[in-house]
Amino acid sequence: MSGVDSGRVVVTGGAGFVGSHVCERLTRSGIPVSCVDNLVTGTRRNIAHLEGGSGFEFIEGDVSSSGTLREISGPVGAVLHLACPASPIDYLRLPLETLEAGSSGTRNALELARRWNARFVLASTSEVYGDPLVHPQPEEYWGNVNPVGPRSVYDESKRYAEALVAAYRRTYGLNTGIVRIFNTYGPRMRAGDGRVVPTFIRQALAGEPLTVAGDGSQTRSLTYVDDTVDGVLAMAARGPAGPVNIGSSEETTVLELAQRIIGLTGSASVIEFVDRPVDDPGRRRPDTSVAREELGWRPRVDCAEGLKRTVEWFSRSSALESPE
């Protein structure tokens, strides 16, 4: 049974990059949405066009606090849990808050879903695979994660959240699902959030050197945000437990990405090689056969088109005026 058409949908982290696109898609489909966000990394600007509209409500609050989700009026058909700092700059700046979002925040969101017998979907991450020794990464791969490294606050937050979701499914029979989202990009990313696409675009548009970590041979599989939203909502509607990888099989090196963005922006920027971060993954590409078979999902926007749209958005956006 679909959870997105049987009552209000609660989107935690709904004022963030991916969350705001989820809220927008649901609202445009006529589905009532409660967007919950503490605005630590999200912003009201992302949802300003939705506020005041029929069926949309914004609740400013931290899902890690047990009282925040009590304000939600029912019936609730689905809870989509996206709340968590997701960029390296954010989770390194907010390590304890990141761990709380994955632990207390996930449990509070699960309890809301249990109260209404609602479908629950956790937005997990490809970071649960760490620096993978298996390529491409299938869902049954357990990963290669440093549990005490600087990235561990995000990796382990999501790994714990997955374990908690699985425990609620086994213990209470709760209708849960887990999606593992790979490198998503697109409009509404913050220019200074530290992720590779907005960083390169900001630098190229400013005529600054593009800072490529290491020799740039590490790979990423970039997924345009519209495709990621399709995957999240398909997971909410179809009902499998997962985990299910949501990502593109189009793999590119970081150096190639920098060169493409210089070309798209027409920038005179040069490449500058910098030290590679600790535990930075060497290769990253999902096996998406489960998503195709169980969700009927595959990405529709290729990297060339997605980057073009993203560069155009940044070129006309005030996001560049405030990198943070």
pTM of the predicted protein model:
0.93
Cβ–Cβ under 8 Å, residues 246 and 188: no
* Least confident interval from 65-69, 183-187, 232-236, 303-307: 65-69
Q: Note the pLDDT tens digit of each residue in 37-59.
A: 999 999 999 999 999 888 999 99
pLDDT confidence band for 306 (50 / 70 / 90)? very high
The CATH number assigned to the domain with range 8-182+223-248+284-300 reads: 3.40.50.720
**Residue 121: predicted pLDDT:** 98
Of 154, 168, 185, 224, the active-site residue reads 154
Q: What is the DSSP letter of 220?
A: E
154 is an active site residue: yes
Closest CA to 184 of 56, 64, 22, 312: 22
- Percentage of the chain beyond pLDDT 70 is 96
Q: Note the pLDDT tens digit of each residue in 162-175.
A: 999 999 999 999 99
Residue 33, SS3? strand
For residue 198, give both structure tokens. Answer: 């907005």
**Residue 263: predicted pLDDT:** 94
What is the C-alpha separation between 173 and 248, in angstroms, rounded? Answer: 31
Average pLDDT over residues 308-316: 94
What ranges do the domains of the chain cover? 8-182+223-248+284-300
Residue indicated by tokens 């070309």: 263
